[in-house]
A and B are shown apart, each in its own frame.
Chain A
Amino acid sequence: MAELNTGDSGGGKGGKVRSKKQNSKVDLTAMVDLAFLLITFFMLTTSLSKPQAMSLGLPDKDPKDKTEDMKVDENRTMTVLLGGGDKMYFYMGLINNPMAPKLIAYGKDGIRKELIKRKKDVAAYTAAKGKPEQGMIVIIKPGKKSNYKNVVDILDEMAISSIPTYTIVNDFLPEEQKLLEGK
């Protein structure tokens, strides 16, 4: 370093033998580098290691206070069927009316596009009826062969497209059963 004084001072004959003055400054750059590297590592690992979780609320299913099935405008509903082998079908309204169940892919080019489009359609429909606070209702029906990843994926899509109302239903219509098992 610049302050290092190493020159032999004088060296006069007969002078006292002086002990050499050692420079007390140490280069701390490397140590500080290392310390900050470790700080960064520990900071990131402590906050990133906490697991994420999505919360899921299901309707109460106590048989005691079973209420009459609520009538829902079928123009607002979309039913999503989850099958084995990462297959997914959806239909609007009632089955085969107005549309037959259609195979659709997971991800942003498949279900997400459709959800956003349908959500707009439903919003336009309810606004025309004078009830703009009612949004789309998505009914998720995971089949017996679907896996947990499919369920989380579709719930995630609901969160991404901010669908106001969605639920998981485990009853299947005969047509739906056939569709999920037949292929």
Chain B
Amino acid sequence: MAKIKMKKKSTSTDMTAMCDVAFLLLTFFILTATAKVPEALPVDTPASTVQTKLPESDLATLTVGKKDGKDRVFFDLKGRDVRKRTLELMGDKFGVTFSEEDKEKFALMTDFGVPIQNLKQILDMKASDRVKADQPGIPMDSLNNQVKEWVYNARIANNEFNNAKGSKQELQIAIKGDAKEEYPVIKKVMDILQDQHINSFSLVTGLRGKDF
């Protein structure tokens, strides 16, 4: 009596197509990912349960942190063209001239924290040296309030570009404060914004669960 033999099925499947798709997706994600640029002033943001994300454009970030016992404010702006125009406006205002090359460099860098008079030195540095350079923060006392001017001119530049595009989107301001920073310093930054009638802004936070 012959035994009925079970047909042996091959266990291996053709994975070529799957592999193709996987690598296609991988390529897409690698290309769209942006490398993280080291921040000039690293801060430890407090956590919250809010899950709203910050916008990718039309955003200025004021980083408030403490380094060597001194409170420092750094400024960052999204959008290359807006950055260039802001630098032009700031240069006019403070009588500092920036070459085309300087503007190009400024468009490509991220946050900085020096008075505008010293901005050129920072622009001439390599990206890796900027982080190491001891940037003193942008002055924001009542006599020499450059933080205010930066925010103000960034708003003008942003509006120019958005109006040209026919959009009414205003520049949004985010405050990125260190968790240990004292409230009066944050309040001072908020006051600068409120003096320009910016009454609604974002606070950058980390993420945590509801059970804390």
Which residues of A come within 8 Å of B, CB atoms? 1-3, 25, 27-29, 31-32, 35-36, 38-39, 42-43, 45-46, 49-62, 82, 107-108, 142-153, 155-156, 159-160, 170
Asked if A56 and B203 make an inter-chain contact with CB atoms under 8 angstroms apart, the answer reads yes
Mostly, the B contact residues are mixed
Tell me, in angstroms, the Cα distance from A25 to B15 when the chains sit together.
Answer: 10
Asked if B23 and A58 make an inter-chain contact with CB atoms under 8 angstroms apart, the answer reads no
| Nearest 9 interchain pairs by C-beta | A42-B29, A35-B22, A28-B15, A53-B202, A149-B179, A149-B46, A57-B200, A54-B50, A156-B48
The residue that A144 contacts in the complex, of B16, B26, B182, B203, with Cβ under 8 A, is B182
Asked if A142 and B205 make an inter-chain contact with CB atoms under 8 angstroms apart, the answer reads no
User: Which of B69-122 touch A at CB < 8 Å?
Assistant: none
Q: Which residues of B contact A108 (CB under 8 A)?
A: 210-212
Asked if A144 and B183 make an inter-chain contact with CB atoms under 8 angstroms apart, the answer reads yes
Stretch among B128-136, B137-145, B154-162, B184-192 lining the A interface: B184-192
Asked if B194 and A58 make an inter-chain contact with CB atoms under 8 angstroms apart, the answer reads yes
| A-B interface pairs (CB < 8 A), number | 150
* Min CB–CB distance A71 → chain B (angstroms): 22
Q: List 27 A-B contacts (CB under 8 A).
A: A1-B12, A3-B10, A35-B19, A36-B22, A38-B26, A39-B25, A39-B26, A39-B29, A49-B36, A51-B206, A52-B48, A53-B50, A53-B202, A54-B202, A55-B202, A55-B203, A56-B201, A58-B199, A60-B197, A82-B183, A146-B183, A147-B181, A148-B64, A148-B181, A151-B186, A153-B48, A159-B49
The residue that B190 contacts in the complex, of A27, A39, A58, A152, with Cβ under 8 A, is A58
Asked if B51 and A147 make an inter-chain contact with CB atoms under 8 angstroms apart, the answer reads no
Interface size on B, residues (CB 8 A): 54
Asked if A2 and B11 make an inter-chain contact with CB atoms under 8 angstroms apart, the answer reads yes
| Chain A CB within 10 A, most for which of B18, B25, B50 | B50
Q: Does B32 contact A (CB under 8 A)?
A: yes
* Min CB–CB distance B78 → chain A (angstroms): 12
Tell me, in angstroms, the Cα distance from A62 to B100 when the chains sit together.
Answer: 39
Q: Which residues of A contact B53 (CB under 8 A)?
A: 50-53
Q: Which residues of A contact B19 (CB under 8 A)?
A: 28, 31-32, 35
A32-B15, A43-B29 known; A53-B54 Cβ under 8 A: yes
The residue that B16 contacts in the complex, of A28, A50, A151, with Cβ under 8 A, is A28
Asked if A149 and B202 make an inter-chain contact with CB atoms under 8 angstroms apart, the answer reads no
**Further contacts, 5 of them, CB under 8 A, given A52-B206, A55-B202, A160-B49:** A28-B18, A82-B183, A107-B212, A108-B212, A159-B50
Q: Does B168 contact A (CB under 8 A)?
A: no
Nearest-neighbor residue (CB-CB) of A50 within chain B: B53
Q: Does B153 contact A (CB under 8 A)?
A: no
Asked if B203 and A152 make an inter-chain contact with CB atoms under 8 angstroms apart, the answer reads yes
Q: Does B2 contact A (CB under 8 A)?
A: no
* Min CB–CB distance B181 → chain A (angstroms): 4
Q: Does B33 contact A (CB under 8 A)?
A: yes
Tell me, in angstroms, the Cα distance from A98 to B190 when the chains sit together.
Answer: 33
Tell me, in angstroms, the Cα distance from A125 to B133 when the chains sit together.
Answer: 59
The residue that A155 contacts in the complex, of B48, B183, B212, with Cβ under 8 A, is B48
Nearest-neighbor residue (CB-CB) of B64 within chain A: A148
The residue that B51 contacts in the complex, of A32, A52, A82, A145, with Cβ under 8 A, is A52
Q: Which residues of A contact B26 (CB under 8 A)?
A: 35, 38-39, 42
Residue interface bits B165-187, CB-to-A below 8 A is 1, else 0: 00000000010111111111011
